[in-house]
Amino acid sequence: MKKLFAFVLGLLLIVAAVLPAASAGNSAYTITNPYAGVKWKTAGQYKTALHTHTNASDGDHTLKESMQRHVETGFDIVAVTDHGIVDPGFVSGPTRPFVKRALDLLHRSEGEITYLGTEGTFPGGAAYSVYSKDGNEYLKTGGRTMLHLPFGIEQNAVSVNAHVTSWFADFHDNTISGYEDAIRSVEKAGGLCVINHPGEYTKARYELHSADAYSDQNPSFAYHINKFASYLDRYDACIGIDMNSKGDNRTRFDRILWDKLLQRFAAKGKNVFGIASSDAHQLDVIDTGFSVLLMESLTAADAKAALQNGRFFAASHCLGNPDELYEIAEALKALYGEKNAVCKAVLAAADTMTQRVRDIESGKLDADEDIGITYSVLDEDGYTTVKTFPSVSAVAVDAAAQTITIKSKHALLVRMISNGKTVAVKRADNATFDLDDYAGSLGDYLRFEVFGEGGMLYTQPFLLNAERNAAKNASLPVTRGLFLDLGTFDFIIAEVHKWLRIAGVRLGSRF
């Protein structure tokens, strides 16, 4: 009898020990897939310029020259976003000549403003026509059709620290105004907007190390994270931040900001989208960064819906963060071997950046220099030297199996990121991620980066347990500690931080 009792007791103890482990492995996440409504077999993937300039504001080239280059580099949708000027369309162009005159006085704009009209010839000789259909405006040339995204503008033209790109809203304010002034008015007018290249105004672009950029211990960065979080929380029209822009020099640390914002918002069951753009003022910048919108038809309404719902990818031919590049190089080496040509190119770029940092820190270069170097596949004229760019052909979420599969083309590897850290890296031809395998490393969101020789494609975030988090943390503030929005005067905080950094004073974790 005693032996039977001991056997039963031992069996119960074994079962008790095993059950928690099994339970922990089967996490049963609910996964909110931003691409859930995409019909992958029929949806078009449209290369989109969300932020570009002409000489109507401070761009170097005319609308004709800019649109010719956008056609040459394969764009399907273009928003013209000159400073302080709502773009009415390709035919007539912007209608605020005083902005042009003011910039002429500052020597920031040159030449006569030229519009496309209903037909004409590009400087290169190709004929084009502009026509409207069902409320949409299109440019047609050489068998290609390009959609005009309505009412593009870079808001807050005379502000020094608060640029916001907006679309779909016929609104501008050329007084001294801040982020919130523009975002609030764009929302009231029914448009969408994004916070532009935050690293420019937070001065994160002048940091030399990822560990310092957007450190919560740095009062300047803590302030700006709170500032952006407060706008994203209160205004649905503001869909996210620009986190890879214009060759990624000034935005190279803005993925860190994106992840910090995501940690706050995903805990409440809310998302923050990441945008990539060129912010092109010159022709050779036009194809640096862009977004890929997933749409059933090439219309402005479908474009707006894609941006609102996160049915798009951010993309860039350039990467300026050496830590990211070293991580990618190590993954390429492990997956494809150290002789892989792309691995060598990525590693060479990262090494060059690292040497630049050392030269700045040793005093060989001026302390107010930034790294100024990126991994890029563009030549000196801004044309890509690589024939292919990574794309995603499908995203499959299996809720029962707890897996996410990223099916891609022209890619080498896929990185899964959560809470700002790379959780897993897989070859692009075998990119199925079983969430149970990483249960101890996952936060409230996942996002994926698809890398190929041609550059990087960023997915929008997948939220984990969003409904539960929304119910549990509804009252959780997205700001941390004491926060008072200083409006347009907060550029002083960023400037002080910048010059302290240049002087060698570290605020936060590195001294």
Tens of pLDDT along the chain (511 residues)? 444 434 433 433 333 333 333 333 445 899 999 999 999 999 999 999 999 999 888 889 999 999 999 999 999 999 999 998 899 899 976 555 556 556 555 555 666 777 899 999 999 999 999 999 999 999 999 999 999 999 999 999 888 789 999 999 999 988 888 999 999 999 999 999 999 999 999 999 989 999 999 999 999 999 999 999 999 999 999 999 999 999 999 999 999 999 999 999 999 999 999 999 999 999 999 999 999 999 999 999 999 999 999 999 999 999 999 999 999 999 999 999 989 999 999 999 999 999 999 998 888 888 777 777 899 999 999 999 999 999 999 999 999 999 999 999 999 999 999 999 999 999 999 999 999 999 999 999 999 999 999 999 999 999 999 999 999 999 999 999 989 988 887 877 888 877 777 676 654 544 3
475 phi/psi in degrees, rounded to 5: -90, 0
Q: Which tokens go with 280? A: 């092109």
Q: Is 352 exposed, middle or buried (0-12, 13-18, 19+ CB in 10 A)?
A: middle
Q: Is 367 exposed, middle or buried (0-12, 13-18, 19+ CB in 10 A)?
A: middle
Domains and CATH numbers, the chain: 44-319+477-502 (3.20.20.140)
Q: What angle do CA 60, 64, 70 make, to 5 degrees?
A: 85
pTM of the full structure: 0.91
Strand 31-32 with 238-245, pairing: unpaired
Q: Is 431 helix (H, G, I), strand (E, B) or coil?
A: coil
- The CA distance from 29 to 34, in Å, is 15
242 phi/psi in degrees, rounded to 5: -85, 110
- The CA distance from 146 to 128, in Å, is 11
Q: Which tokens go with 283? A: 């022709």
Q: Which residues lie across from 396 on neighbouring strands?
A: 405
Structural contact between residues 87 and 137, judged by C-beta atoms closer than 8 angstroms: no
Number of C-beta neighbours around residue 215 at 10 A: 23
